[in-house]
Each structure stands twice: as structure tokens, then as C-alpha cells.
Amino acid sequence: MSSSASSPRVPLLLGVAGLIPFAGLSLALASGFVLPLFADDDSMRVALVGYGVAILSFLGGVRWGLAIRESEAGDGRANRDFIIAVVPALIGWFAWFQPSPADLWWLVMAHIVLALLDYGLACRIIVPEWYGRLRLALGGAAAACLMLAAIVAG
């Protein structure tokens, strides 16, 4: 793997764009402003939780793909990574059924832990260093937005 620390432009821009729903919904909830397309605060909170779950599932899919590659290479760690790939979606599904603000706090925890685990992929030289750093930054930003919404809801 390349050890380049600077993120390629496209993944960086897409990652930052992926933060827009987290930031927009969290800031709207914190300010009491209801965004267009939403009826009220509760519908925005549900949309935020849904987006947080969707992103966890997406990131689990990334891990699944990496585990497939590891299993093809005969790496014994692939089974652990297959398990790690499924857990974020399961935690998100569990969070979906929790009352507010517990749903948001579960998502905060899941996004932080997954960002740290993804950074570990860079430490194990399974992904480029830039991916690990990008995941730390994006996961931290998503968790901060979810935390703001949880505090407001709480």
C-alpha cells in the first residue's frame, strides 16, 4: 500500500460532502430551525438517525470488501474483518429502535469506534495512510454532529 498521507481529491470532496446531512440536520436541530422538506424537529432527528445508520452500513461494506481481499490473499485476519464489517450495521439497526437521545448516543459511539478501527487498517498497512486519516477526520466530524443532536435532544 502507498503510505501517502494526503487524501486524493475525489475521496476527500465526497467525504466532506457526506458530512453535509450530519452538519445540516444537527445544526438545524441545535438552532431550532426546521429545514425545508421536514415537518418538524422530530422528522429531522429521524432523518439524522437514518443517515447515521446508512453511513455505518456503507462503511461496513467497505470493510467487507477489504476482508474479501484479505481472504483471497490467505490472510487469517479476514474472518475478524468480516465480523467487524457486519457489526456497524447491526449497531445502527439496534440504535434505530432506541428512544431519543439514546439512538443518537449509540450512533456517536459506533462512528467513533469504527473510525478508530478504520484508522487501524492504515496502521496494519491494509489501506493507504490517507484513508486512515480521512476516516478519523470524517468519523470524528460525524460523531461530533451526532453528539450535538444528542445533547439537544436530551
Residues contacting residue 91 through CB under 8 Å, at least 6 positions apart:
56, 106, 109, 110
In the chain, % of residues over pLDDT 90: 85
Domain locations in the chain? Answer: 9-153
Residue 24 CB-density burial (10 A; 0-12 exposed, 13-18 middle, 19+ buried) = middle
> CB of 103 within 8 A of CB of 96?
yes
Residues contacting residue 58 through CB under 8 Å, at least 6 positions apart:
none
70 band by pLDDT with thresholds 50, 70 and 90: confident
Flag the least confident range among 52-61, 73-82, 92-101, 116-125.
73-82
Residues contacting residue 17 through CB under 8 Å, at least 6 positions apart:
none
75 band by pLDDT with thresholds 50, 70 and 90: low
Look at residue 4 in the predicted model and tell me its pLDDT: 63
Look-up of cell digits 439496534: 94
- pLDDT, tens digit, 9 for 90 and up, residues 13-44: 999 999 999 999 999 999 999 999 999 999 99
Rounded to a whole number, what is the distance in angstroms from the first to the last CA of the chain? 43
Checking if the pLDDT of 1 tops 70, the result is no
> CB of 59 within 8 A of CB of 113?
no
Top pLDDT among 99 and 4 is at 99
Residue 19 phi, psi (nearest 5): -80, -15
**pTM of the prediction?**
0.93
Top pLDDT among 25 and 69 is at 25
Checking if the pLDDT of 2 tops 50, the result is no
